[in-house]
Amino acid sequence: MALEDKTLTCRDCGNSFTFTVGEQEFYQSRGLQNEPSRCPECRASRRQGRYRGGGGGYGQPRTMYSAVCANCNTECEVPFEPREDRPVYCSACYAEMKQNS
């Protein structure tokens, strides 16, 4: 069965968008069975919200806390409240420690 471009309707904004043959092939190669329900713009907006502060639920900003890295002593921000009895590491030091373990 040959694939064809499909016109879908975004569930967030209601605009039509094209689910191209290339996108369909990508979905199939990843084993994804459901078609996208959001247009590319709404998907990007949703991803941005999730990674840049979608902490306590969609649309709610994540509270970030200032901390000092226990390894390199640089200031950093973490998504949890630091405690005195636990070391906090910046993302670079944490990645290095994780890689070495």
Residue 72 included in any domain:
yes
69 and 44 both lie in a single domain: no
Q: Which whole number is the average pLDDT over 62-69?
A: 89
Percent of the chain with pLDDT over 70: 86
Q: Which residues are CB-neighbours of 76 under 8 A, at least 6 positions away?
A: 66, 67, 68, 69, 88, 89, 90, 91
Give pTM, 2 decimals. Answer: 0.47
11 and 47 both lie in a single domain: yes
Tokens 């200031």 appear where? 75
Whether the pLDDT of residue 56 is over 80: the answer is no
CB 48 within 8 A of CB 58: no
Strands 16-19 and 6-9, bridge-based pairing = antiparallel
Residues 93, 22: Cα–Cα separation, whole Å: 39
| Mean residue pLDDT across the chain | 87
Q: Which residues are CB-neighbours of 84 under 8 A, at least 6 positions away?
A: none
74 and 43 both lie in a single domain: no
For residue 43, what are the domain limits?
A: 6-51
- State the pLDDT confidence band at 63, using cuts at 50, 70 and 90: confident
